[in-house]
Amino acid sequence: MSNIANEVIACGEAARAGSRGLAGAADDAINEALRAMAALLAERAPAVLRANAADVAAGEQAGLGRGLVDRLKLDDARMTDMAGQIGRLADAPFPPAQVPVRDLPGGLRLAERRVPVGVIGANYEARPNVTVDVASQLLKSRNAGVLRTGGAALGSATTLFDEVITPALERAGLDARALNLVRSADREAATELVRHPGLIPLVILRGSGETTRNLAADAARHGVRTLAHADGGGVLYLDRAADPALAAQLITDSLDRLGVCNRLNLLLIHDEAWPRLLPVAQTALEKAGVTASLPPHDHPLGHEWALDTGHEATVTVAPAAGPAQAARTANDETSGLAAAVVTADAGAAAQFLAAYAGTGAFWNASTRLLDGFKLRGVPETGINVDHVPGPRGPVTFHDLCLRQYVVTPGT
């Protein structure tokens, strides 16, 4: 067994040991740790930002693209946002640990209980904020964890663990072994994370592309369940009844960051409105510093520009025969992350929303809203785009539990 495999297993064993106390921890202790995490993000910001600056410099030197550097970079504003979100999470109420379902024959009562998973793994892209997002969600759900980030962000993640996450657990009197970081940039660590179902039965897989899909397949072969998000890209459809000013504003709002998964990636325009709305779209894209990829295309309509180094500032633009056809294009050509329709016609909006099968559907709103904090007021562990029963869209602490049925005598 390799040293990296041993490190992952050691992290899993430490997390399992720490999970025992975490499962029974008082609500106040969990929230105290979260508030300490928020406070430490402010107190230790200089150390975190120094480590992050080193990561960014190394990433730029290694040729990371514009979108990936945007994901990697922290600054004072992002640190403040991270602390604010963790503070909000501490204030969020816990869901009931047990809820009654119904009375059963023989004077029995049925209840449904929430049970922590125990140890949850997380493999995610080189985004330092995700280290805090995932750690905080696991803590709020009373699950221990083993986290592994992309090598470009390992310095930032290590500092966040050493200066923020571990001290926060200790301040609250919780077992610091509950949350662990795999401190290796080697990709073997990601593979090992999905190969130990008895130790780490569930792994959150974030990131885009073939690597994440391969990890999900490997996890399935080893009996590890995953919440996976391999592909992103938002779709915006401009209907023939779209208000031009609103269309331009939503294009702008959807491109405030080019490295995130819910940014505008594919812009569809009703073919009857193409001559009128295409110039509106082109002007908005040009103001945002983004190039329009117009037909005929030499790439798939759903090509994810955020991951195309050197071409991140690109949006695919194509005609659509109407709202239902636009929704089908979004279903067939993209990951099904999020799609929006811009129209003043309620009937057209209803057709689009009924036909779209993705995780987030929006009418006269930006797909950038498909985010745990923006939608639900708490950070997320990732966005699940699976087309099977289970948590879908932004996954938060509410979703990280097992269901247990409990039958007791009635009183």
pLDDT tens digit sequence for 94-146: 999 999 999 999 999 999 999 999 999 999 989 999 999 999 999 999 999 99
pLDDT over 90, % of the chain? 85
DSSP assignment letter at 165: I
Q: Which residues contact 358 (CB under 8 A, 6 or more apart)?
A: 330, 331, 334, 335, 336, 337, 338, 339, 385
Please state whether the predicted TM-score (pTM) of the whole model is above 0.85. yes
The larger pLDDT score, comparing residue 314 to residue 260, is at: 314
Q: Is the dihedral of CA 154, 155, 157, 162 positive or negative?
A: positive
- Give the tokens for residue 195: 């190969």
Arithmetic mean of pLDDT over the chain: 95
d(CA 68, CA 64): 6
pLDDT category of residue 86 using cuts at 50, 70 and 90: very high
- pLDDT at position 392 is 86
Q: Which pLDDT tens digit goes with each residue over 298-348?
A: 999 999 998 888 999 999 999 999 999 999 999 999 989 999 999 999 999
pLDDT category of residue 172 using cuts at 50, 70 and 90: very high
Find out whether 171 and 144 touch, Cβ atoms under 8 Å.
no
State the Rg of the chain over Cα. 22
- pLDDT at position 230 is 64
Say if residue 259's pLDDT is above 90.
no
Say if residue 203's pLDDT is above 70.
yes
Q: Which pLDDT tens digit goes with each residue over 214-243?
A: 999 999 999 999 998 767 899 999 999 999
Nearest to 158, CA basis, from 180, 174, 133:
180
- According to the 3-state scheme, what is the secondary structure of 3-28? HHHHHHHHHHHHHHHHHHHHHCCCHH
- Of the given ranges (58-72, 186-200, 333-347), which has the lowest mean pLDDT? 58-72
Nearest to 143, CA basis, from 391, 390, 400:
400
d(CA 320, CA 239): 9
Q: Which residues contact 126 (CB under 8 A, 6 or more apart)?
A: 55, 59, 68, 71, 72, 149, 150, 151, 152, 153
pLDDT category of residue 277 using cuts at 50, 70 and 90: very high
Placement of tokens 């995780």 in the chain? 359
**Average pLDDT over every residue of 276-295:** 98
User: What residues pair up with 349 in beta bridges, in sequence order?
Assistant: none
- Of the given ranges (13-17, 144-148, 235-239, 256-260), which has the lowest mean pLDDT? 256-260
Nearest to 337, CA basis, from 213, 229, 209, 227:
229
- Of the given ranges (78-87, 152-161, 339-348, 390-399), which has the lowest mean pLDDT? 390-399
Q: Which residues contact 80 (CB under 8 A, 6 or more apart)?
A: 42
- Of the given ranges (61-75, 149-163, 179-193, 271-285), which has the lowest mean pLDDT? 61-75
Query: Can you tell me whether residue 235 is helix, strand or coil?
Result: strand
User: What residues pair up with 401 in beta bridges, in sequence order?
Assistant: 116
Question: DSSP letter string over 89-111?
Answer: HHHSPPPPSEEEEEEETTTEEEE
Q: Is 223 left (phi over 0), alpha (psi -120 to 50) or beta?
A: left
Q: Which pLDDT tens digit goes with each residue over 19-28?
A: 999 999 999 9
Amino acid identity of 184? S
pLDDT category of residue 92 using cuts at 50, 70 and 90: very high
Q: Which helix (H) or strand (E) holds 124?
A: strand 119-124
